[in-house]
Amino acid sequence: MVSMNMQTIGLGIDLIEYESFDGMQDDARFLKKVFTIEEVSYCRTKSDPLPYLAARFATKEAVIKALGQLDENIFYSQIEILKRENGSIKVILKEHPHFVVKVSLSHGKRSAIATALATRA
């Protein structure tokens, strides 16, 4: 839930078709540029890591879009998408702690989708 005293910055959404993302899961340079070690480790615990990696990529894209109105550069490596023990998703903005981002992500048989709501704390 977003507190009433938080200023909304933007809303972002992204959809990733697995077909366009396939092959990236084995590209070490791409994985290092886009994901944290924790993100890759979590996704690789799954029998098919592709949907989980794609969902996190879509989430990072949605976060970048939500923060797109700002004059600050936000890079994939500065965004960490973690799954908590209770199943909720936590977004960590490593170099922008003054922003709070709430996300929702989902993955199906052929694609992953994510939404992000960015606010200023």
**pLDDT higher at 1 or 29:** 29
Beta strands in the chain (DSSP E): 7-17, 79-83, 89-93, 99-107, 111-120
CB neighbours of 89 closer than 8 A, spacing ≥ 6?
Answer: 59, 81, 82, 83, 103, 104, 105
- Which domains does the chain carry? 7-120 (3.90.470.20)
Residue 10 confidence (pLDDT) above 60: yes
25-71 residue pLDDT tens: 888 999 999 999 999 999 999 999 999 999 999 999 999 999 987 76
